[in-house]
Amino acid sequence: MGAGPPATLSQTTSKSAAPDVPLLNPSQPSTRFLDGTRGIAALYVLLRHVTWVPVADTSGPTWRRILGLLEHAFRYGHLAVIFFFVLSGFVIHLRFARQLQKDPATATFGWGEFVYRRIRRLYPPLLAAILITWLFDRAGTAMGFYQFYVGRGVDFSALPDAMRYNHRLPTLFGNLTFLMQMHTQVWGTDNPLWSLAYEWWFYMLYPLLWRFSRRSIALATGFVLVAFLMTRLPGDWPGIQDAAYPFAGWGMLSLPRRVFGALPAWWCGVLLADVYAGRLRISFKSLAPLTLALGAMFISGAPEVIKASLAGIGFCGAISLGFYLQQQGVKLTILNKLKGLGDFSYTLYVTHWPIVIFLTPWWARYAEGKFPGSAPLGLVFLALVPLGIAYVAHLFVEKPFTGSSGKRAPLKAGAIHVNPSAPPPPPPLQV
């Protein structure tokens, strides 16, 4: 999510510029498990980075084998970002999909309210991440920690300069306008911020896609596919996580090419919202086998945007499987109970990496030269500290802005007739 950050799936009583939409049909499966899944995805990205840090050659052979297995298990952090894209598309569109399903002729789109919601959701944790990154990078520079990463291999070659120099005003402006890794470097060492650029520009495209979808889902989907195919025109498919290009020549197309290249994955979530709202008459059972498309991520040599699109289809199938299992009476209890982790997953995603980068040489300095990855205790330390900082930070920069109160939104009189013996409807989604 991210991971790029998906919109929060929580209860809300906030007002909308759009007409009131009836509560979901009680027979529809709950979306609550998606919060837990989102939290797991953010935790997976954290563990990917924790198991990726340098390890001293003095580590025992048994632990090195174990660490190698852990690193292999958590090497697919980029998959979590694609999941965030899919979930974001689902959540953003669901409220509007319900309106379009109810009465497309009267459905309206409030541009001002939409942008306000997106700013309110994205910027507070982003600003916190910028501040946390600056503090840890400044401390790391003052303590000489950037030297720790010199000569550690190509994976860490950019960190010394990023820790020392990527805090200039143009870089700050580029990150605040969501141009990171499009036309400017990410802020400091906080590389996960790259996915926020995609989220923002997906949002900016959505009003146009909503208008197309209002007329025809096929028309909107056709536009997404044509835009995707056009990214191939300059001669090759664009990369998703790529270097920043100067705003000149073909580099001027870096942003639209990459955004349109990743758009099909996000659009998979939009189409799933149409299924959930009843605009597309497809059963979750029929969609569940699409989960197999996740296997495309293991195809060597396939263009990144192709694999991302197939992964989007795969995650669409996986979410559908969760809905189908609930329809069959399966309670996704564990995922539901992880909602608390999902509540601060965005803050965790955008803040953890600079902290891990700082703590790795810090541990080595004060643990007699041993790297944190050299023993289980060090890895636990690297994981728990960012988790704790992210949790505290989210209380100030995420929770106040998501409208999550833990109370079900009151049912408006005459909105819907509910069978008292039926199971309660799932809570509305915060978008």
Residue in the structure block whose two tokens are 């965030």? 84
pLDDT band at 27 (very low <50, low <70, confident <90, very high): low
CB distance 11 to 96 below 8 Å: no
Distance CA 215, CA 52 (A): 47
pLDDT per residue as tens digits for the range 95-121? 999 999 999 989 999 999 999 999 999
Q: Is the pLDDT of residue 280 over 80?
A: yes
CB distance 398 to 342 below 8 Å: no
Tell me how far the alpha carbon of residue 38 is from its chain's centroid.
Answer: 8
Q: What is the mean pLDDT of residues 422-428?
A: 39
- Please give the full DSSP string across 244-298, using - where no structure is assigned: ---SSGGGGGHHHHHHHHHHHHHHHHHHHHHHHHTSS---HHHHGGGGGGGGGGG
Strand-pairing partners, residue 184, are 180
Show the 3-state SS of 12-28.
CCCCCCCCCCCCCCCCC
Residue 53's pLDDT is: 83
Q: Is the pLDDT of residue 140 over 50?
A: yes
34: which residues sit within 8 A by CB, 6+ positions away?
9, 87, 90, 319, 322, 342
CB distance 30 to 1 below 8 Å: no
Residue 227's pLDDT is: 98
Distance CA 254, CA 257 (A): 5
More confident residue, 375 or 131: 131
Q: What is the mean pLDDT of residues 190-208?
A: 97
Distance CA 151, CA 157 (A): 7
Residue 360's pLDDT is: 94
Q: Is the pLDDT of residue 22 over 70?
A: no
Residue 155's pLDDT is: 87
- Please give the full DSSP string across 53-119, using - where no structure is assigned: S---TTS-HHHHHHHHHHHHHT--HHHHHHHHHHHHHHHHHHHHHHHHHH-TTT----HHHHHHHHH
75: which residues sit within 8 A by CB, 6+ positions away?
48
Token pair listed for 287: 């969609």
CB distance 240 to 305 below 8 Å: yes
Spatial CA neighbour of 241 closest among 189, 301, 191: 191
Token pair listed for 264: 């099909």
Query: Where are the domains positioned within the chain?
Result: 33-402
pLDDT per residue as tens digits for the range 255-279? 999 999 999 999 999 999 999 999 9
- Cα 316–Cα 317–Cα 320 angle in degrees, nearest 5: 90
Distance CA 308, CA 73 (A): 19
Q: Is the pLDDT of residue 425 over 50?
A: no
Burial of 348 (0-12, 13-18, 19+ CB in 10 A): buried
pLDDT band at 233 (very low <50, low <70, confident <90, very high): confident
Residue 39's pLDDT is: 97
pLDDT per residue as tens digits for the range 38-72? 999 999 999 999 998 877 666 678 888 888 899 99
Q: Is the pLDDT of residue 351 over 80?
A: yes
Spatial CA neighbour of 81 closest among 119, 125, 38, 120: 38
Q: What is the mean pLDDT of residues 176-197?
A: 97
Residue 56's pLDDT is: 65
Token pair listed for 344: 């601060």
Residue 112's pLDDT is: 94
Token pair listed for 133: 């990154």
Residue 14's pLDDT is: 34
Residue 413's pLDDT is: 30
Q: Is the pLDDT of residue 23 over 80?
A: no
Residue 4's pLDDT is: 54
Mean pLDDT across the chain? 87
Residue 235's pLDDT is: 83
pLDDT per residue as tens digits for the range 3-19? 455 454 443 333 333 33
Q: Is the pLDDT of residue 324 over 70?
A: yes
Residue 372's pLDDT is: 85
